[in-house]
Amino acid sequence: MGDGTKEPKESYEEREEYEMSILDRISDKLIDGLAVFINLFKKDWRRRNQSKIQEWKLMAYALNRSPPALLGLVIVVVYIFFGIVGPYLASWPYDFFPVMYNSTSKLAPPGTNVFLNVTMVKNWHVIHYTTTVHYSIGSDLFGRDLLSVLLAGARTALVLDVFIIMIGPTFGIMLGLIAGYHGGAVDETIMRITDMFLAFPGLILAIALSAVLPGRIQNFLNYHAFAQTLVLKLFALQPRDVNNLGKLLAVFVALIIVWWPGYTRITRGSTLTERENLYVEAARAIGLPSRTIMFKHILPNIIGPILVMITMDFGGVILTEAGLSFLGLGAVPPIPDWGNLINQGAQYFPQAWWLVAFPGIVIVTVVLGWNLLGDGLRDILDPRTRRSMEFKVKKKGAAGGESNA
């Protein structure tokens, strides 16, 4: 777009003029880069999907013109960044308990310095050293620096968040597509099973499941060394915490079980109306397999509202997960977890207000970010509102009008 006309083959296309801001240029570059990247794996992808790339650019322009959605995007990007590198940025490891060496480090208020005389065993050697811990935003029950635990907890939150959303809704969408497309007995069976799960309030089912599952999961992990290492790596935990993984993963499994049925119901509903369209009938007439029709033809047409729901549920998972660990069901110390920090602070409220306030602010910010982004996406993915936004974007007097793209 704009001045960056490096591809001569695009020039035959009628060009629309937009007022470009710096953000638009950046997003253009990003999308072009993405297209080049995909082109590496799929031959000729870029040339054949030019209209798709154009549409993506227009979506990015709409996003750039919606400040709340941009704010949400920034928050989400920061959250993902800290979720990936957080544990390595933390100045103190999450499993180092200063309270063992100096009891004043327990629930130290923000801004205090605590002197430690550490004696510990490392690699079969007893080592002595002295150090000072600066608690910029206070410490928790074990004298851990709250900032470090928050950073490390970002990983726990992100991994749970991403994997729950990757598995639960995907499963739900697939079932919904199958039920809506095939109809009849298949539909009836799937929907009755979905109704059974929808009958339970999410939080209650999650509480019940995370109460009964830990034993089984811990057993499974103890017998599968590979799964054990994988989970430890994912959550950036030390090998000695392996016995605490059962409770953490119980929440994970519980939330997956809670999170799929809603998507099945929504997907089925929109599939039912979508499959009546002529293009589906045409695809069936030329003999395409149902799998292709469902996933390549129907799904892209109904994915918009579902994507919005997924975005908002990223926040919802964080809320529920932190709620469960607040109730003492999910992650247990020393595993760093935001909800668990609030649980510790709640027992000493209001003396240890920082243990409720700072994790609380972090959770609210992240959830707000996802919700803002979801709200913005709703406007952007809805073709009607997007078109109205594009009108505002267009330069006055530009040739061509709003013909294609």
| Contact residues: another protein, CB under 8 A | 192-193, 195-197, 199-205, 207-209, 211-216, 315, 319, 322-323, 326-329, 339, 342, 345-346, 349-350, 353, 356, 360, 363-364, 367-368, 371-372, 375
Residue 147 or 209 having the CB closest to another protein: 209
Between CA 318 and CA 257 the distance in angstroms is 15
Residue 84 or 327 having the CB closest to another protein: 327
Residue 269 or 323 having the CB closest to another protein: 323
For residues 314 and 161, the answer to whether their CB atoms sit within 8 Å is yes
Picking from 162, 133, 138, 164, the residue whose alpha carbon sits closest to that of residue 150 is 138
Residue 14 or 195 having the CB closest to another protein: 195
Between CA 292 and CA 36 the distance in angstroms is 26
Type of residue found at 47: R
Three-class secondary structure assignment of 233-254 = HHHCCCHHHHHHHHHHHHHHHH
Residue 111 or 215 having the CB closest to another protein: 215
Residue 71 or 174 having the CB closest to another protein: 71
Between CA 74 and CA 64 the distance in angstroms is 12
Residue owning tokens 């937009």? 18
CB of 395 to another protein, least distance (A): 24
Residue 82 or 97 having the CB closest to another protein: 82
- Name the percent of the chain in helix, strand, coil, to the closest 5: 70, 5, 25
Strand partners, 131: 116
Residue owning tokens 């009964």? 212
The string of DSSP letters for 143-156 reads --BHHHHHHHHHHH
CB of 216 to another protein, least distance (A): 6
CB of 381 to another protein, least distance (A): 16
Beta strands in 85-240 (DSSP E): 112-122, 125-135
CB of 242 to another protein, least distance (A): 18
Residue 163 or 353 having the CB closest to another protein: 353
31: CB partners within 8 A, 6+ apart: 53, 56, 57, 60
CB of 215 to another protein, least distance (A): 3
Between CA 94 and CA 335 the distance in angstroms is 7
Residue 203 or 307 having the CB closest to another protein: 203
Residue 159 or 217 having the CB closest to another protein: 217
Q: Which two tokens stand for residue 348?
A: 């000493």
Residue owning tokens 């709200």? 375
H helices of 17-66, in order, are: 22-41, 45-48, 50-64
CB of 218 to another protein, least distance (A): 9
CB of 279 to another protein, least distance (A): 26
Q: Which two tokens stand for residue 125?
A: 């050697």
Between CA 22 and CA 64 the distance in angstroms is 10
For residues 369 and 75, the answer to whether their CB atoms sit within 8 Å is yes
Q: Which two tokens stand for residue 53?
A: 């790339």
Strand partners, 139: 145
DSSP state of 19: -
CB of 6 to another protein, least distance (A): 40
Residue 367 or 393 having the CB closest to another protein: 367
